[in-house]
Structure 1
């Protein structure tokens, strides 16, 4: 189980996202025995985080945080500060809306080195607070500590970063926003011959790709559900549910498998996503068939072979300024 620092969370590898499209409703493919079926893997169970030792608890209790909520805090502690596992305490209890799993939390935070207490990063200074979905496994360091708290909560925590140095982070929740978990709107009849999509009761897609389906030379953008929200622009950050497949039915990536929607800047992913999602309405579901030249070209990327056409089903849940 990965335990990221908040600073590490800001560096999620968004550019690796590849999404596969699925059609909604009962647009099931005929002759399924001659088709490739792409099913999303179920969400994996995660192991509980190790419990902090009494020494870890004492170390975090020694972190002093002063200053009014809403402003950059002053943080001090005895150096060097060391912990054997992620440890935290609530410095200030919030009084705003409750933080529930599946909601989007916007946080400000400051990071200091445990060895010398020198500040290494602050969203207050960059004026770029970070937004994520509560429950997203990539933020496992924060989920249990924030879910059930309220807006305005301030926590102090110490953890080991990816370079094995101890970091002290003070996090403050600035805002929470409840968003849908799936696309809701008017069903759109897709063009004949495209990969077909069936939706489970919770909205999770299964994609059926005809065995004789020919990879397109140009990007295919097929709305399956039309939402009633504003149109997405390339400069925005979007929150989506998605499933990605290869033409042989292999599932290579899915937010459904991680249990929560995913947010990323639309200008920071593959061109097929940037070009396919921009111009669509929030609340829509879109099937994308992305040629290799708008995906990863002749480069292998994880489970995606070189020169692969990618299929995505994308539920656009929210779009906001990056």
Structure 2
């Protein structure tokens, strides 16, 4: 568990949050705590959970409670994961991670990255599931790490909205079972002279605005079909973009504006919107998560 928390905290936007009913360090400790004694509040989509922890408990065993079941794809060993995570110390109630006040965290479903207990808890779960996981302090604990409680939401790693009928004069996008797209540019498709954005899947999530931080999976191909860049290989994390910052190519920043989480976009961009030395490009972009600071 130390591994996943260290990775998540290093990448997360850490902002202080409210924890209701933190454990009282002065209370007498007599009984082992059970995960079903912890009350999870604030179930609104996208909002930070709250945790009400019983006092006077020893948290010495790994435990997991499924708070609700998802209906998405079933998780398998080694696959990419996208997790929203809220975690507190069970020693003093302090907040350790809150990705709900930032972007979700990307992992692979592997015990060496997540720890065996959390790996076991997530393996076989479905996308959309929320779990409450208790992890005891390590047996070998030179750094004095506390036991922790984690609320974890399993998010999709590809578009999950409503499919939109494709246009006949656009490149054809096909997707593998895991969401990996491939692009075929027919002879009837005209090279773009301006940015063109077509919605292939309409998501129902939060809208992207100027100043939003957005996490996407994407594939970029040249006009002759060569893959120039992609976030889809398992060893590559999704791309994080701050819209309006100018840190990413204009085709992506402009193409994301006003779109919604869960959507898949087909973007045709002249060279001036991407890479002048590569000619026009086609991008397929799946919007996975959005965080807009003014909304936090």
Q: Give me the TM-score of the superposition, normalised by structure 1.
A: 0.50
Q: CA deviation at 1:280?
A: 1.5
Question: Cα gap change, 1:147/1:293 in structure 2, threshold over 3 Å: closer, same or farther?
Answer: farther
Q: CA deviation at 1:249?
A: 1.1
- The separation in 1 between residues aligned to 2:10 and 2:146, in whole angstroms, is 14
Structure 1: segments with no counterpart, 5+ residues:
12-66, 71-90, 110-121, 157-167, 299-305
1:310: which partner in 2? Answer: 281
Instruction: Tell me how large the CA RMSD over aligned residues is.
Output: 4.9
**Contact conserved, 1:237 with 1:265, CA < 8 A, in 2?**
yes
Are 2:191 and 1:220 aligned?
A: no
2:106: which partner in 1? Answer: 133
Q: CA deviation at 1:208?
A: 0.4
- The separation in 1 between residues aligned to 2:149 and 2:206, in whole angstroms, is 27
**Contact conserved, 2:232 with 2:238, CA < 8 A, in 1?**
no
- The separation in 2 between residues aligned to 1:262 and 1:195, in whole angstroms, is 23
1:255: which partner in 2? Answer: 231
**Contact conserved, 1:205 with 1:313, CA < 8 A, in 2?**
yes
CA displacement 1:150-199 (0-9 Å, x = unmatched)? 6454777xxxxxxxxxxx99996744112234323333234432211123
1:321: which partner in 2? Answer: 292
CA displacement 1:71-117 (0-9 Å, x = unmatched)? xxxxxxxxxxxxxxxxxxxx98465659x6734143679xxxxxxxx
SS in 2 for 1:258: coil
2:160: which partner in 1? Answer: 184
Matches within 5 A, 1:76-91: none
Aligned length: 220
SS in 2 for 1:221: strand
Q: Give me the TM-score of the superposition, normalised by structure 2.
A: 0.53
Q: CA deviation at 1:222?
A: 0.6
SS in 1 for 2:104: strand
Question: Cα gap change, 1:196/1:128 in structure 2, threshold over 3 Å: closer, same or farther?
Answer: closer
**Contact conserved, 2:137 with 2:147, CA < 8 A, in 1?**
yes
Matches within 5 A, 1:76-115: 93=62, 102-106=81-85
Matches within 5 A, 1:11-90: none
**Contact conserved, 2:208 with 2:258, CA < 8 A, in 1?**
yes
Structure 2: segments with no counterpart, 5+ residues:
13-24, 27-49, 51-59, 68-74, 89-94, 122-131, 139-143
Structure having greater relative contact order (Cα 8 Å, sep ≥ 6) = 1
2:263: which partner in 1? Answer: 284
Q: CA deviation at 1:286?
A: 0.9
> Given the alignment, which residue of 120, 127, 131 partners 1:148?
120
1:203: which partner in 2? Answer: 179
After TM superposition, the runs of 4+ consecutive aligned structure 1 residues lying more than 6 A away are 127-130, 168-173
- The separation in 2 between residues aligned to 1:211 and 1:154, in whole angstroms, is 60
1:10: which partner in 2? Answer: 11
- The separation in 2 between residues aligned to 1:196 and 1:292, in whole angstroms, is 20
Q: CA deviation at 1:207?
A: 0.7
> Given the alignment, which residue of 212, 215, 220 partners 1:244?
220
- The separation in 1 between residues aligned to 2:146 and 2:222, in whole angstroms, is 42
- The separation in 1 between residues aligned to 2:291 and 2:210, in whole angstroms, is 11
